[in-house]
Amino acid sequence: MNNFSTLLVANRGEIASRVIRTAKKMGLNTVAIYTEADRHSPYVIDADLSVKIESSYLDSDAIISAAKTTGAGAIHPGYGFLSENHDFATKIQDEGIIWVGPNSDSIQIMGDKIEAKKHAIKAEMPILESVNDAASAKDIGYPLMIKAAAGGGGKGMRIVYDESQLDESIKLAKQEAMNAFGDDRIFIERYIERSRHIEVQIIADKHGNVLHLGERECSIQRRHQKIIEESPSPRIDSEQRDKLTQASLSLAKQINYVSAGTIEFLYDDDSGEIWFLEMNTRLQVEHPVTEMVTGIDIVEMQLRIADDQPITISQSEVSFQGHSIEARIYAEDPANDFLPSNGRLIADRNRDDKNIRWDTGVSKGMMIGTDFDPMLAKVISHDESRELAAAKLRKELENCHFGGFVNNIDFLINILGNESFLNGDTTTDFIARYNPPRSIEIDSNEKNFLLMATTLWLQHKNRSNAVVLGHIPSGWHNARLPYQQNSFELDETELTVRYKRQRDGSFIDEKNQVALINHVSNESIDIEFNKLRRRVNITQYENLLLVQHDKGNKLIKLIPRFKNEQELIQKGSLVSPMPGKVTEINVKTGDKVEKGQNLLVMEAMKMNHSISSNQDGIVEEIYVQEGDQLETGTSLLFIKSGDE
């Protein structure tokens, strides 16, 4: 590199690790920034040098100060946070530091979704009609989509189906937008239910060269955030592809765009109409699928462009090989309306080969909190066809040993195996229409196998750690004794395993089914049970065990012999459905409330969630205050039913 040798990454998590990886490959020194919540995050260790900031990742002055302190000649913003903040880009350049991204004018023009539409009109692109206030919304017609003018990533977005929801939805969207981007402006446009999100990756240098790297489809979403992305789109034909890519190149040239950017389109699956949505003036979360099909490192291109180097390949030299699919792993509960979850990551075992890529921001032992976006990792597959890429990705998710708290891996596996997904029917309402199972159900035989494997693994572990008579074989006895037993909670059901050790070293359960241990270690057990043999990966943290079966993992809870009665929840209590912070309480003691009425608002992972009453009644007690940080299951308030 000619103009800088040290790069500071103004971000966190998996994208910080990903940028650092390429920067190191290019021989650059790397600097990370972190807050106290990220003290033990992998990217902090990945960097050559790290600087703690006391405020937040939105503190531009602290980031610039860190760059000066460490001698960083360039700053890469990643995505989210300040990546599309034109004031931040200007301040960096005013300090003589290189900004790895587009110029601030392009960010201001296209990063503002409202202004971007004006330029799209100049480029003769069709757009969806939009307004900026509730009073004008009725002119568009319901359903409506509220969007943050300065945002992306699902933050500040709400679907509104009728006028009664509009004011509250606007308020929540503005709060989320301010929390995520420091800008609470919103706009409102028509919501197209049977649509696809198609986006074109472009890359441009400072010498007038502009390329496209093909299109991605990012239609499968929940809470307006993408969870599965792929390249190429299974729906777009060559004629449509040419139309979209050429329109994208024209728009990029019109605004003298530099660096990597993405131009998004909305495709109506029923009519075939296409509208310009927005331009993201940054690296996208889903950029790996483009890298997999083109073989081009987009971050490397960003860094070389920032160094004033010209793009060295022509459009005709960009080739597209095979198909790539990305799945995002989130700390969330699909069965509980995808609300955030938290806990300790007790297991993190996966593989990374040339056709499977893990971009991750976590490691074993980390506590996953609610301070940031719930995305933990991205898993990306590549193969010669879409069918093979989907099968490979699904198998990888089944085989990985990753978790310790509720997450969406089972849900992703079920989507990837869904017949409609495999047929390419991947519109934005995919989840609502096909309702893929939120978890993987296993039959009673598989449950018995897993619980017996877990029981004997625990017994081995206990004997290995024994300080008295540790040489005695696990389960050995010299007299007739009753069955030993363990009780577990699996899939919200309490199950008990009763077993005995036989003199030949095998074990039997109450049904006289025989279990034989072939090999056991601290990480797994090779067990034959009821004539079926399998190696089972197991990881324990306190009373939680992550146990791998043939189609994923199950989180099993070891039930103590004596239960704590304080854990029982009083009937009539409303409890927190997720970990998060109380930001607003809308009732007081003595208030009469109706079922469905908004009672309070919680913020978790930069998203605002309204907590509504589950019954008619009177608020007798409120147990929390604004600003309280809560765990899942915390009692919020007590409502006395009107029937009592």
Least confidently predicted of 177-181, 365-369, 538-542: 177-181
Instruction: Write out pLDDT tens, residues 228-244.
Output: 999 999 999 999 999 99
β-strands 6-9, 29-34: how paired?
parallel
pLDDT tens readout for residues 245-260: 999 999 999 999 999 9
| Angle at the Cα of 388 from the Cα atoms of 330 and 345, rounded to 5 degrees | 25
pLDDT digits (tens, 9 = 90+) for 290-306: 999 999 999 999 999 99
- Tell me the C-alpha distance between 170 and 273, whole Å: 28
> Which sign, positive or negative, has the C-alpha torsion 53, 58, 61, 64?
positive
Residue 601 has pLDDT above 70, yes or no: yes
The whole-angstrom separation of Cα 162 and Cα 138 is 10
Query: Where in the sequence numbering do the catalytic residues fall?
Result: 282
Instruction: Name the fold adopted by 444-550.
Output: Glycoprotein, Type 4 Pilin (3.30.700)
Q: What is the pLDDT of residue 566?
A: 46
pLDDT of residue 242: 94
Q: Return the minimum-mean-pLDDT range out of 322-331, 386-395, 630-639.
A: 630-639
Q: What are phi and psi of 111, to 5 degrees?
A: -70, -25
Sheet holding 573-575, edge to edge: 573-575, 635-641, 617-622, 592-593
Under 8 Å between Cβ of 166 and 137: yes
* pLDDT for the residue numbered 355: 81
Of the pLDDT bands very low, low, confident and very high (cuts 50, 70, 90), residue 457 is: very high
Mean pLDDT (whole number) for 182-197? 87
The count of other CB atoms within 10 Å of the CB of residue 173 is: 24
- Between CA 164 and CA 160 the distance in angstroms is 9
pLDDT of residue 475: 54
Instruction: Supply the mean pLDDT for the chain.
Output: 91
Helices 104-111/86-94 angle, 10° precision: 170
What would be the CATH architecture of the domain defined by 6-100? 3-Layer(aba) Sandwich (3.40)
Q: Where are the domains of the chain?
A: 6-100, 104-128+195-321, 130-191, 325-434, 444-550, 567-641
pLDDT tier, 572 (very low <50, low <70, confident <90, very high otherwise): low
Structure tokens at 171: 């308020």
Residue 640 has pLDDT above 80, yes or no: yes
pLDDT at position 569 over 60: no
Tokens of 601: 């608002």
What pLDDT does residue 576 have? 86
Per-residue pLDDT, averaged over 571-579, amounts to 76
Beta strands in 250-331 (DSSP E): 259-268, 274-280, 323-330
Lowest-confidence segment of 42-51, 176-185, 326-335, 478-487 by average pLDDT: 478-487
Residue 177: predicted pLDDT: 84
Q: State the pLDDT confidence band at 15, using cuts at 50, 70 and 90.
A: very high
Q: Taking residues 592-606, what's their average pLDDT?
A: 85
Q: Tens of pLDDT along 468-502?
A: 555 555 555 554 567 899 999 999 899 999 999 99
What pLDDT was estimated at residue 423? 97
pLDDT for res 564: 55
264-286 pLDDT, tens per residue?
A: 999 999 888 999 988 999 999 99
Three-class DSSP category at 232: coil
Pairing type for strands 617-622 and 592-593 reads: antiparallel
The pTM assigned to this predicted structure is: 0.85
Q: Is the pLDDT of residue 556 over 90?
A: yes
| CATH number corresponding to 104-128+195-321 | 3.30.470.20
Distance of CA 330 to the CA centre of its chain: 4
The reported pLDDT for the residue numbered 551 is 92
Q: CATH for 567-641, among 2.40.50.100, 3.30.420.10, 3.10.20.440, 1.10.10.10?
A: 2.40.50.100
In sequence order, what DSSP letters do the residues of 53-89 get, joined into one string? -SS-TT-HHHHHHHHHHHT-SEEE--SSTTTT-HHHH
pLDDT given at position 378: 97
Q: Is 351 helix (H, G, I), strand (E, B) or coil?
A: coil
Give the pair of three-digit tokens for residue 78: 């990643």
- Residue 188: beta bridge partners? 131, 146
One CATH from 3.90.420.10, 3.100.10.20, 3.50.50.60, 3.30.470.20 for 325-434: 3.30.470.20
Rounded distance between C-alpha atoms, residue 318 and residue 336, angstroms: 43
Structure tokens at 605: 């992972």
How many other C-beta atoms are found inside a 10 Å radius of the C-beta of residue 590?
8
Task: Count the residues in the chain.
Answer: 644
User: Would you say 390 and 421 are in contact if contact means Cβ atoms under 8 Å apart?
Assistant: yes
Which tens digits make up the pLDDT trace of 313-361?
999 999 999 999 999 999 999 998 898 898 999 999 987 677 899 999 9
The CATH classification of domain 130-191, taken from the options 3.30.1490.20, 3.10.180.10, 3.30.70.60, 3.50.50.60: 3.30.1490.20
Same fold yes or no, 130-191 and 444-550: no
